[in-house]
Structure 1
Amino acid sequence: MIIDTLKILFNRDLKRLITEVEQYKIEADIWKIKGQVNNSAGNLCLHLIGNLNTYVGGELGYTGYVRKRELEFSLKNVPRQELIQMIENTIEMINKTLDSLDENILENEYPILVFDRKTSTGYLLVHLTTHLTYHLGQINYHRRLIEND
């Protein structure tokens, strides 16, 4: 049951992420920063894609994904359609991985140390949904802030 709920939440918010990226009237604005806003929407997208592909795909789905975290924040001007394709690929990976999991795995210790102490797989997956939502909100504010210039 919780795996189905997680799948619904990941799909909902990753589709909202696509909508946010699509709503930028000027594609270059996806990569703008302003004032004390240090991360562009594009870099936050790359960060979310890297984060989910690492902790869900790489560790639970055995995709072989190798994260290059520094590029998530330094890479610039990835075309909008490429970002959207990367998000769509992440949705596909999330669905495939979560569909392959048994509910009992949620109580198991997550395979790697992510925080200051070990957690269960279920805890980490719930954390990843809140992390996605947190940055999705930042992207929404970024878009509206940049467009109001």
Structure 2
Amino acid sequence: MDKEAQLIEELVKNALYRMDESTRMIKKSLEAITEDETWQKPNEALNSIGNLVLHLCGNMTQYIISSLGDTEDIRNRDEEFNTQGGLTKNELVKKLEDTVDDAKRVIFDAGLSNW
């Protein structure tokens, strides 16, 4: 394996590991708060934890799944911040896990097939 292929393999492995570790820590943090706290905003200038999870999913969908995966970008960024509830912590975690799984699949495929 040449140096470029080794570098790409290491970058892909590191990205996949970091996504898993970050997801684990987000899930752990969500476990420590109540359903109500998930959607509370400290003030009108700040976002709720629920909004931040939706925003993270939006970022991964736009910048990884759509861009690297060559699919249509259908992101509605304003909705990520305007949502004031409607999803439970478990539903947010499921959305995050599904988005991370899709992003990891795209990164893995792009890292192996495009180089």
TM-score scaled to structure 2, two decimals? 0.80
CA RMSD of aligned residues (A): 2.1
Specify every segment of 5 or more residues in structure 1 that has no aligned partner in the other structure, as ranges: 107-149
Structure-2 change in CA distance of 1:20 and 1:65 (3 Å): farther
Percent identical: 24
Deviation at 1:64, TM superposition (A): 3.4
Alignment deviations for residues 60-101 of structure 1 (CA, whole Å, 9 cap, x no partner):
123434100000100121211110110110121122111102
Amino acid at match of 2:68: L
Amino acid at match of 1:42: G
Selected match of 1:16 from 2, 25, 33: 25
TM-score scaled to structure 1, two decimals? 0.63
Alignment pair present for 1:56 and 2:83: no
Deviation at 1:35, TM superposition (A): 4.1
Aligned to 2:108: 99
Distance 2:54 2:102 in 1: 15
Q: How many residues align?
A: 105
Selected match of 1:38 from 46, 51, 55: 46
Aligned to 2:92: 83
Q: Secondary structure at the match of 1:38?
A: coil
Distance 2:18 2:62 in 1: 18
Alignment deviations for residues 25-46 of structure 1 (CA, whole Å, 9 cap, x no partner):
x211111112476111110111
Specify every segment of 5 or more residues in structure 2 that has no aligned partner in the other structure, as ranges: 1-9
Alignment deviations for residues 108-141 of structure 1 (CA, whole Å, 9 cap, x no partner):
xxxxxxxxxxxxxxxxxxxxxxxxxxxxxxxxxx
49-58 vs 60-69, greater mean Cα deviation: 60-69
CA contact (8 A) 1:2 1:103 kept: no
